[in-house]
Structure 1
Amino acid sequence: MAALSPAPGGLVGQAPVAAERRRDRPRIRLAVRIVAGAAILAATALVVGLGPFVRGIAAISPPSVLAALVLAAIATAAAAWRWRVVATGYGLTLSRREAFAAYYRSQFLNAVLPAGVLGDVHRAWAHGRGQARVGVAARAVVAERLLGQVVQIVLTLAVLLPLGLGSSLVPLAWSAGAIAVLVAVVAASAALLPRPRRILRRECALLRPVLARPAALSAIVLASAVVVASHVALFVVACLTVGLPLDGGIPAVGLIVLAASAIPVNVGGWGPREAVAGAAFALVGLGASAGVSASTAFGVLALLGVAPGAVVLFLARRRRP
C-alpha cells in the first residue's frame, strides 16, 4: 500500500500564518515594553504616592525651561555630529544641517511616542530613503546609539567607582558595578549564539574603518561625552528646580538615572527612570520622594528641551508635496 503524502494545501496554508506571526513580533515586543514601562511607573506611584510627581511638574519655571532648551541644543548638536561620523563610515552622506534637524525631530518623537525609540526608527528611514539605502541607514543609527551608550556606561563607571570608595555613594557604586557585570554577561552570552555572532562580526567589520581612525574615534567619544554632560547638567537643573540642595553627589546620581533612561522598557522615557531615581536618592539619604520629584521635573524639562523637534516635524510636513 502506497504511503499517504500530506496534502500540499496544509503546507501552503501554514506559510501565510508563519509570515503573519513574524510580522506581529515587533508589535508584540513593542506592546510588552510599553506595558512593562507603565507597570513600573504605576508601581513607583504606589510606593511614593502621586505627590512627588505633582511637585516635580509644579516646580517647572521659565528659567529652568530656558536652561533645558540651551542644554538640549548642545546635546543635539553633539549627537548629530556623532551620527554624521558613524554614517560617513557606513558610506552614507549626511550634511550638518540635515543631521541637526533630523536628530531634533527624532528626539521629540522618542519623547512623545511610546517605547522611546520610534524617533530613531523614523530618523533611519528618512535618511536612508533619500539614498535608497534604508537598511544601511538603520544600521548606522543603531551603531551610533550603541556607541553613545557604550561611552555613557564607561563614563558612569569611571565616575561612580572612584567616588563610591569611602563616601555615601558606596551603594550606588556597587549597584553600578553589578549592573555593568550583568550587562557584560548578557552581551557575552548573546554573542555566543550563532545568529547574533554573525551580526556582530558583520557590524564590527563595517565599523572597523571608522573606529580605526583616531580622528573619528575621538569625535565619537568627545561627542558622546558632551551629550552625557549636557543631560547630567539638565538633571542638576531639575534637582535645583524642585528645591534640592546642590550636593556633590547629585551629578553622580544623575549618571545612574540617565543609565535607567536608556532601558528600552518605558512609556516615552517614563518608568524605569523614576523607579531608579527614587531608589538611588533613598540610597544616598535624600529620600525616594525627592528622587521621583527630581526625575519627574527632569522628564518634563527634557520634553520641553526637544520641543523644537516638533517645529522641524511640522516644517517637513509642510514642504512635503
Structure 2
Amino acid sequence: MAGGAAILAVLVWRVGTGPLVDGLRLTTGWSLAAAFAITSLTTLCCAWRWRLVAGGLGVEVPLRTAVAAYYRSQFLNATLPGGIMGDVHRAVRHGHEVGDLGRSLRAVAWERASGFAVQIVLTAGVLVLLPWPAGSLVPSVAVTVIAAVALIAVLIRRRLTSRIGRAFTSDLRDAVLAPRAWPGIVLASTVAALGHAAVFLIAVRATGADVSLARLLPLALVVLTASAVPTNIAGWGPREGAAAWAFSSIGLGAPLGLTVAVVYGVLALAATLPGAVVLVVARRSAVYA
C-alpha cells in the first residue's frame, strides 16, 4: 500500500488533481457498456486458463464455477489492497471445496504466472514490431523478459533438490507445459491481454485523444504489464504511474496518461461488479444453508 500511495502522491504533486477529476468526468455510459462486454470475454478466457492449469494438477474446476469465482476474485482484486487478495480467496475457497488446499493454491499461482508470462512476451513483441517513437521503452521491457527467462532457465537447470524444487518442475511440466494445456493457456492469455488493452483504448478514446492504434497498443500493453505489480491500493498506483511515464515518453504528456489511467480504472472496476453479485449471493447462501 505504501508503494501505491507514494506513486499517487508524486503524481498529484507533479501534475495536480485535474487529470484525476477529468478521468472521473469523462467516463460515459457507452464506454462502461463496452468495457463490461469485453471483460465478460476476458473473464471467460481467464477462467478457462485456470481450469486447464487446475486440471493438470488434479484439482478440477467446472467452467461455470470457474467463471463465477474469477469474477469474484477480480472484484476483490479491484477493491482490496495489493491486487492479489481476490486470487488468494479464489484459491483458498477452491481448496476447501476439493479438499486439497496446497494444489489449489499452486493452481492459481501457476495460472496467474503463466498469464503474466504470455503478456510480457506479447508486450515485448509489440514493442519490437510496431513502429513508434518511444524506443526507450524497448530496452526496459527486453531486460525484464530476458531476466525472467534466465531465472526460469536457472531454476529448471538446477532442478533444485528440495521437495519444493521437485514440485516446481513437476507442476511446470504437468500443468503449464503439458500438450493438453499450453496451447489453450497461450490462446486464453493472448485474448485476455488484448481484451484488457481494448478497454484501455476505449479509455483513451473517452478522453478525446486522437492517437493512432499503432501508438496506443504498445502503450496499453506497457501500462497493463506495470499494473500487475502487486504494490497498489485497490488497483491504483503503479498503473497511473506507468501511464503518466509512458504517455510522457512519446510526447503526449503525463496529465493525459494519468487521465486515461483513471478512466481505465473506473471502467475496470465497473466491469467487475458481477463479482460483487457473486460474493453477495455466496454469502447469503452460506447464511441460509
TM-score calculated relative to the size of structure 2: 0.92
Match of 2:253 in 1: 287
Task: Pick from 270, 279, 282 the counterpart of residue 313 of structure 1.
Answer: 279
Q: Could you report, residue by residue, the CA deviation over 1:162-221 in whole angstroms, capped at 9, with x for unpaired residues? A: 225xx4131222332233345556767888999897634422212313344333110000
Match of 1:97 in 2: 64
Between the aligned partners of 2:15 and 2:153, the Cα distance in structure 1 is 36
Between the aligned partners of 2:83 and 2:178, the Cα distance in structure 1 is 31
Q: Secondary structure of the residue that 1:115 maps to in structure 2?
A: coil
Match of 2:183 in 1: 218
Paired AA for residue 194 in structure 2: A
- Are 2:41 and 1:50 aligned? no
CA contact (8 A) 1:163 1:169 kept: no
CA contact (8 A) 1:84 1:94 kept: yes
CA contact (8 A) 1:161 1:177 kept: no
Following superposition of structure 1 onto structure 2, how do residues 27-66 of structure 1 map, counting pairs within 5 Å? 34-66=1-33
Paired AA for residue 168 in structure 1: P
Residue 161 (structure 1) shift = 1.6
Q: Secondary structure of the residue that 1:129 maps to in structure 2?
A: helix
Between the aligned partners of 2:259 and 2:165, the Cα distance in structure 1 is 40
Paired AA for residue 306 in structure 1: T
Q: Which ranges in structure 2 are unaligned for 5 or more consecutive residues? A: none
Match of 1:142 in 2: 109
42 and 197 in structure 1: CA distance in 2 versus 1, 3 angstrom threshold: farther
Following superposition of structure 1 onto structure 2, how do residues 157-236 of structure 1 map, counting pairs within 5 Å? 157-164=124-131, 167-183=132-148, 199-236=164-201
Further displaced range: 311-320 or 174-183: 174-183
Between the aligned partners of 2:173 and 2:128, the Cα distance in structure 1 is 30
Following superposition of structure 1 onto structure 2, how do residues 96-115 of structure 1 map, counting pairs within 5 Å? 96-115=63-82
94 and 113 in structure 1: CA distance in 2 versus 1, 3 angstrom threshold: same
Q: Which ranges in structure 1 are unaligned for 5 or more consecutive residues? A: 1-33
Match of 1:23 in 2: none
Task: Pick from 239, 242, 246 the counterpart of residue 204 of structure 2.
Answer: 239
- Are 2:85 and 1:118 aligned? yes
Match of 1:299 in 2: 265
267 and 97 in structure 1: CA distance in 2 versus 1, 3 angstrom threshold: same
Task: Identify which of structures 1 and 2 has the higher relative contact order when contacts are C-alpha pairs closer than 8 Å and 6+ apart.
Answer: 2
Between the aligned partners of 1:153 and 1:63, the Cα distance in structure 2 is 30
Between the aligned partners of 2:240 and 2:12, the Cα distance in structure 1 is 9
Between the aligned partners of 1:284 and 1:107, the Cα distance in structure 2 is 31
TM-score calculated relative to the size of structure 1: 0.84
111 and 252 in structure 1: CA distance in 2 versus 1, 3 angstrom threshold: same
41 and 187 in structure 1: CA distance in 2 versus 1, 3 angstrom threshold: farther
Q: Could you report, residue by residue, the CA deviation over 1:284-304 in whole angstroms, capped at 9, with x for unpaired residues? A: 111111001001110110000
Q: Secondary structure of the residue that 2:117 maps to in structure 1?
A: helix
Q: Could you report, residue by residue, the CA deviation over 1:227-251 in whole angstroms, capped at 9, with x for unpaired residues? A: 1010000000000011111412111
Q: Could you report, residue by residue, the CA deviation over 1:13-38 in whole angstroms, capped at 9, with x for unpaired residues? A: xxxxxxxxxxxxxxxxxxxxx11111
Q: Could you report, residue by residue, the CA deviation over 1:29-67 in whole angstroms, capped at 9, with x for unpaired residues? A: xxxxx1111111111111111111111111000000001
